[in-house]
Amino acid sequence: MIIDRDDIPEEFESFWALEKQNALEELSNEENLNQEKLNKLISTFSFTEKQPLSDEVIETMKDKP
């Protein structure tokens, strides 16, 4: 529970970071992806706004085609 209104932005950031981590973990498990590599791929995309290459996406897969 948040007692001080000034703590709301910080608490929300903590909550959102945890939710993103949980979603990434769930996606990785459901799609059989390497979570660390997927996180790196997403971070790179967020920073550069360039779509990843096919090879980079395949690299996140635990079972390669």
Domain ranges of the chain: 36-60
Q: What is the DSSP letter of 51?
A: P
CA angle 29, 24, 53 (to 5 degrees): 95
- From first to last of its 65 residues, the chain has per-residue pLDDT tens of 778 888 899 999 999 999 999 999 999 999 999 999 999 999 999 999 999 999 999 999 999 88
- pLDDT for position 49: 96
- pLDDT for position 32: 97
- pLDDT for position 57: 96
- pLDDT for position 31: 96
